[in-house]
Structure 1
Amino acid sequence: MQTVIPIYYAGFEVGSGFSGLKLIPADGLTLAHDLVTLPSFLADGDTSTLLSGSDPEAKLVDVLQREDYVVTFQGQTYFLGQLLEHGTHCTNAFSDERRYWSEHAQILLLCLACILIPERCFELRLVTALPVSLYDRTRRQQVRQSLSQYYRFTFNGRAREVRVTCGYVAMEGQGTLIHYGGESNFQAVIDVGERTTDLVVANGQRLLTRSCKGEQLGVAQLVEDLQQLGQRYRRKLPIEKAHALLVAYAHHKPYPRISMGTGSIPEDEITDIIQGSIQRIARPLSSFVVGAWNVEGAPAGTQFKTIYLGGGGSYYFEDVVRQALPDCHIVTVPDPEHANICGYAELAASLEEDRWEVR
């Protein structure tokens, strides 16, 4: 009897801060969880360090805690999630454009998929993306060829086998257009991510690539300023804790406590740092958007029926964008940090069947 391998359509995004995966089961069944994000950091790992203080008969799965992830692939072991501090050479490879198609992206993809999918063997039919600044034919082919493989590896000590086929490489921000945009009319997306802001322009769902622009502006500047605040108090502030502070600020909730000796970093200082960072980035961000979409005889951006604002940075820069484009119809999408991967997954599910043939 032939075993039927479950198939999942997937949207995958490799961010410099966080990576994410959204799944749509091909059989129509509902997953307990169909979307997950993870810090985009890998560390070289040695499982013997995790087992050294445990029972001699213990296996790896016995010592792992919640959000501990171990991937072993082609003889190399990687720590992810809460295990990063137990590894060495921790990196998010943000300065290397190859991270979108290198082993860095492969390991993140396999880990995210195994967090969501319980089966030992499965198939992913994938759509992912590149920033506007890297979006060309050569790099898109590199992404497709690199990610499209049959992977044999272990996840948290258990063998897994996954066939991945990358059917399309989108432009960052295009997922928001797919998920929320219309089928007609001149429309655009402002996608404010961790390190880049991408401007995507389309006639309906057809990209007008010459009008799409990218710039090195994003949430990372806010994160770095918060980390510098931590250093003033002789505290190392990991990226996930900096993001926790930013999320609390954006949603008007109490800040997580950042201890220092017998006290904690004052909340008013955290607020001042965040607001100062936003103001510092406001001018270059406004100049970039207005300059890219300036038209003769009309206010910038008014050539579009709708401009969709997405990406995790929209929580912090919505007012900046609205002030820069006061005459435009701007829609801030719900759950903007997940809009792209949801759109990529929808596109993956809609592609014609021959796109998934292994070549």
Structure 2
Amino acid sequence: METIVRAVDVGFGNTKYVTGCSGNEIRCTTFPSIAYPSARDLSAVPAAERRKTVAVPINGLFYEVGPEVNLAADTFRATQMHDRYIETPEYAALLRGALNLMKVNTIDLLVVGLPVAAFAAKKAALEKAMTGKHEVGGGRTVMVRKALAVAQPQGALVYYASLHQKLKAIENEQSLIIDPGARTFDWLVTRGMRLVQKKSHSINRGMFDVLQAIATEISDDIGTPYRDFDAIDMALRTGRNPVIYQKPYDMSRLMPIARTIAQQAVSSMMQWIETSYGFQNIILVGGGAFLFKKAVKDAFPKHKIHEIKDPIYANVKGFQIAGMNYARSTFEKDARVDAAESKMDGESI
């Protein structure tokens, strides 16, 4: 019987999850990390009115999550950006929404991620919370037999090593993985695949800080509160100015603010890692990689910075690879032990 391994990366900006694997291909998708509570189950709404979302029941409420969750938006953007995020019903709703959309009923091993700063303190509690039966909406449940939590950038290291056939070679190398996300700027120093805890950390200086700073400047300029963070984010990624009051708004004068925030994050990291000459690999991933790239390159002028195509999925793809390797070694070992014990029982009879 096939062992089912799946991975979910619930970030502050997006929830990424694995839908399946075929050979070396890992299929992933994403939806915004936004959860809107309601007193009613949306599955009772006529099909023609339904959005591409699921209503996850938690503590007497139904949290709407999924690809079209922005159609449920109200004036309050329901995000939970704080250090106890994984303990909130919104986090549970996002993860269970991903389980629903995976279209499986049982998962033998679920791999999830944590920001580096929270990893040591939250790992055991998160693994316990993820194990067991989950109500995922629409009357469905998903059973998770075992959960494994890893530091988010560690997934990127595994994916990078797998992509470049370096899983063996990297065991003797020192690496730095940099992951600018929505809320946190994470970095991980490793020797081989082992985390160097005292040099690894995360700070609250991610893309959200950039978007918020730019929104404040725009608000002052137009004389009214401006909070269309999605429009600013899209403008930064595409180079096309957002449309405000039916006219393109020139954001070029605000770019120094974005670059300064990126430099602040990288400067904080440099204080933790102390020296940089020993790194064989410096890997830049995450949804904010495009904006933080220059600050990282300026900090490491003598290094080659390795980037990954679709960096937003680097962590979750690495989670999946690590999970499959773990399952292969652990579950197969258990199967051999069971077979040996069965054989001994037969002989004793």
TM-score, normalised relative to structure 1: 0.78
Q: Could you say which residue in structure 2 is the equivalent of 1:312?
A: 287
How many Å separate the matches in 2 of 1:265 and 1:100? Answer: 38
Distance of aligned partners of 1:279 and 1:73 in 2 relative to their CA distance in 1, 3 Å threshold: closer
2-side partners of 1:62 and 1:352: how far apart? 42
- Match for 2:297: what amino acid? R
**Counterpart residue number, 2:157:** 177
Q: 5+ residue gaps in structure 1? A: 52-57, 296-300
Q: Which amino acid aligns with 1:221?
A: D
Closer, same or farther in 2 for the Cα pair 1:102/1:164, shift >3 Å?
A: farther
Aligned to 2:57: 72
Q: How does 1:326-345 map to 2 (within 5 A)?
A: 326-345=301-320
CA distance in 1, matches of 2:4, 2:226: 39
Structure 1 position 35, deviation (Å): 1.6
1:193, 1:218 within 8 Å by CA — same for their partners in 2?
A: yes
Shift of 1:89: 6.7
Cα pair 2:100 2:142 within 8 Å, conserved:
no
Deviations 1:149-174 (A, max 9, x none): 202342xxx32120124532111211
Identity over aligned pairs, percent: 19
1:41-60 equivalent positions in 2, closer than 5 A: 41-47=34-40, 59-60=45-46
Question: Is the Cα–Cα contact under 8 Å of residues 147 and 165 in structure 1 kept in the other structure?
Answer: no
Distance 1:242 1:93 in 2: 20
Contact 1:167 1:355 in 2 (8 A): no
Separation of aligned partners in 2, 1:37 and 1:165: 24
After superposition, give the CA deviation of every residue in 1:190-221 in whole Å (9 maximum; x if it has no partner).
Answer: 11111222221112212222221222211111
Q: Structure 1 residue aligned with 2:210, among 218, 222, 237?
A: 222
Say if 2:117 is the partner of 1:133.
yes
What's the secondary structure of 1:352's corresponding residue? helix
Q: Which 4+ residue blocks in structure 1 deviate beyond 4 angstroms?
A: 28-31, 353-357
Aligned residues: 319
Measured in 1, the distance between the counterparts of 2:200 and 2:60 equals 41
Q: Of 34, 40, 49, which aligns to 2:27?
A: 34
Change (3 A) 1:216 1:30: closer
Q: Is this contact kept in 2: 1:192–1:218, CA < 8 A?
A: yes
Matching residue's letter, 1:70: A
Could you say which residue in structure 1 is the equivalent of 2:80?
93
1:241 corresponds to which letter in structure 2? A
Q: Which amino acid aligns with 1:276?
A: P
Alignment of 1:12 with 2:30, yes or no, is no
Kindly report which structure 2 residues correspond to 1:283-298, keeping only aligned pairs within 5 A, or say none: 283-295=263-275
Q: For residues 148 and 53 of structure 2, what CA distance do their matches in structure 1 show? A: 31
Aligned to 2:344: none
Partner Cα distance (1:90, 1:196) in 2: 18
1:42–1:84 contact (8 Å) kept in structure 2:
no
Find out whether 1:199 has 2:187 as its counterpart. yes
The corresponding residue for 1:298 is none
SS of equivalent residue, structure 1 residue 36: strand
In 2, Cα distance between equivalents of 1:110 and 1:153: 5
Instruction: Summarize deviations over 1:35-84 as a string: whole Å, max 9, x none.
Output: 22222121211448x79xxxxxx84433113x344223453211231243
Which amino acid in structure 1 is aligned with residue 155 of structure 2?
G
CA distance in 2, matches of 1:192, 1:59: 39
> Letter of the aligned partner of 1:94 in structure 2?
M
Q: TM-score, normalised by structure 2?
A: 0.80
Residues in 2 aligned to 1:240 and 1:114: alpha-carbon distance in whole angstroms: 26
Q: Distance in 1 between matches of 2:87 and 2:27?
A: 23
When structure 1 is superposed on structure 2, of 217-226 and 302-311 the one drifting more is 217-226
CA distance in 2: counterparts of 1:110 and 1:209, whole angstroms: 30
What is the deviation of 1:224? Answer: 0.8
Q: Does 1:350 align with 2:333?
A: no
Counterpart in the other structure of 1:55: none
Structure 2: gaps of 5 or more residues: 335-349
Map of 1:105 onto structure 2: 91
CA apart distance, 1:229: 4.8
Task: Quote the residue 2:129 is aligned against.
Answer: 146
1:186 to 2:174 alignment? yes
SS at match of 1:343: helix
AA partner of residue 197 (structure 2): T
> 1:271–1:125: structure 2 CA closer, same or farther, 3 Å change rule?
farther
Q: Distance in 1 between the 2:252 and 2:47 partners?
A: 41
SS at match of 1:135: helix
1:242 to 223, 227, 232: 232
Distance 1:212 1:44 in 2: 35
